[in-house]
Amino acid sequence: MAAVLDVANMTALWSERWSNRFASLGETFYTALPPQGVPDPHWVAWSPSCAALLGLANTQQPTDDHSLQVLSGNALGAGMQPLASVYSGHQFGVWAGQLGDGRAHWLGEVETPNGPMEMQLKGAGLTPYSRMGDGRAVLRSSIREFLGSEAMAGLGIPTTRALCVTGSALPVRREAIETAAVVTRVAPSFIRFGHFEHFAHTAENPEALKRLADFVIDAYYPGCHETPQPYVGLLEAVARNTAEMMAHWQAVGFCHGVMNTDNMSILGLTIDYGPFGFLDVFDPGHICNHSDHQGRYAYARQPNAAFWNLHALAQGLLPLIGEPDEALEALEVYKTTFSQALEQKMRAKLGLATAQEDDRTLIDDMLKRMAADKADFSISFRRLAQFNTTEGATNASVRDLFLDREAFDEWAVRYASRLRAESSVDAERALRMNRVNPKYVLRNHLAEVAIQQAQAGDFTETQRLLKVLERPFDEQPEHSAYAAFPPDWAQSIEVSCSS
């Protein structure tokens, strides 16, 4: 196990703990180049939880200037080998050709008590893959990515992490002039479906695809070596992890917004927090990305979008697999895994301790009522923990969330009967339900308040909101305002690919 670090001068202490396995693949896979820093950087936000993941002894924000400069792209720690990787992909279902890390610089891989972790700086300047972009990130989008990553981690959902955000007065043009920021991202790997697609479509270096697949199997899926066809085993393992991730998303009402194949992690991690959001009212057709004009990645379409992306990955791996039928068969695990995982999570959200034949109908009818009456997704399930199974109980705290009270009453009779049939004890069930139904999620209006204050130079709300989101299932009565219904002005918030 790697030693615990002192955060005071962490980059110096990390100097002997860096490995660079991805860099060892060769320059076909990347362009080596240093990040382009920002002038006069300052700290914006820091995640003690992510620092603990990295094995830091003092998880609080560093006080040394060297760490600030390194995490802003102005300096390098010993052992870092910065690079930008190349990949391709399908964007909104259309082949986009070569893409790549247009504003991300991979620093290398640091040894931690939790295994090797890659670190990236997002927003640290131009790369050969920036296309028409400027290689920068703005404060607004950086705070969203920071809070989104850490909120998902708090919910127990597979995700990349965010160690910190640093800011600068450097002007960056989006819809208007904004200020620059840099996010330090952390993950076991940032390899995407698009990496495989790129090398499958690049005839000039066909052996690179095999080198990449062998690397991913050796580093992250060694069990595939025990299967009859390791590349089929790899596809099946990725399909299974992706299905589990999608079940997590659907169960908490998370919408990604840009589920392109270049934004799909080979490890089944939530990656690239651009336009994303958590449902307020339950709307299966909700589109969180203002740029998604066709609704390709609407909430209810996300599971099918992920399956489509897996087909694109299968096509990328086909030169190694050989037989299309074997690839298609490997993908079947997605459908069974997703269905079973989501049903299990939804049973838990309703507090059902056993599995019964009619549970899916009970769950679906609850969701239909929520959609018809525009009930708040998170609040509805959280309040359901208070449900009283005693015959004749009104259950007003849940009932009042629905416009059609009589329809809810009909469902509530069936729900109460189902709970009594398994001898459910209300108090015990409430504890179980509160462990899976978050009280706090990163609603857009909460992020917007933190962003507006940060843009005015006050970063305390960002840090305060982070602390709340790290414990989303706890009551935290002192922070109950963060669990309230969204204000009317929240409906006017729009997030797009520039967010």
pLDDT digits (tens, 9 = 90+) for 485-495: 999 888 877 77
pLDDT at 1: 36
Q: Is the pLDDT of residue 129 over 80?
A: yes
Q: Encode pLDDT of 435-484 as tens digits.
A: 999 999 999 999 999 999 999 999 999 999 999 999 999 999 999 999 99
**Cα–Cα distance for residue pair 72/41, rounded to 1 Å:** 7
Q: Encode pLDDT of 393-430 as tens digits.
A: 899 999 999 999 999 999 999 999 999 999 999 999 99
Average pLDDT over residues 78-87: 93
**Cα–Cα distance for residue pair 139/224, rounded to 1 Å:** 41
pLDDT at 15: 65
Residue % of the chain over a pLDDT of 90: 86
* Residues near 17 by beta carbon (within 8 Å), at least 6 away in sequence: 2, 79, 110, 111
Q: Is the pLDDT of residue 56 over 90?
A: no
The ranges assigned to domains in the chain are 7-188, 195-348
Q: Encode pLDDT of 212-252 as tens digits.
A: 999 999 999 999 999 999 999 999 999 999 999 999 999 99
pLDDT at 9: 53
3 band by pLDDT with thresholds 50, 70 and 90:
very low
Q: Is the pLDDT of residue 96 over 80?
A: yes
What is the average pLDDT value for the chain, to the nearest integer?
Answer: 94
Long-range pairs, 290-294, Cβ under 8 A, ≥24? 290/494, 290/495, 290/496, 291/496, 291/497, 292/92, 292/257, 292/258, 294/92
Two tokens, residue 211: 């080198």
**Cα–Cα distance for residue pair 456/143, rounded to 1 Å:** 13
Name 281's bridge partners.
Answer: 376
pLDDT at 2: 43
499 band by pLDDT with thresholds 50, 70 and 90:
very low
Q: Is the pLDDT of residue 4 over 50?
A: no
Two tokens, residue 186: 């952390």
pLDDT at 133: 86
Separation of CA 26 from chain center: 29
The answer to whether 262 is a known catalytic residue is yes
Within a 13 Å sphere around the CA of 79, how many CA atoms are in the beta-carbon half? 18
Q: Which of 262, 280, 292, 376 is catalytic?
A: 262
Element (H, E) at 19: strand 18-19
Average pLDDT over residues 246-274: 97
Q: Is the pLDDT of residue 151 over 50?
A: yes
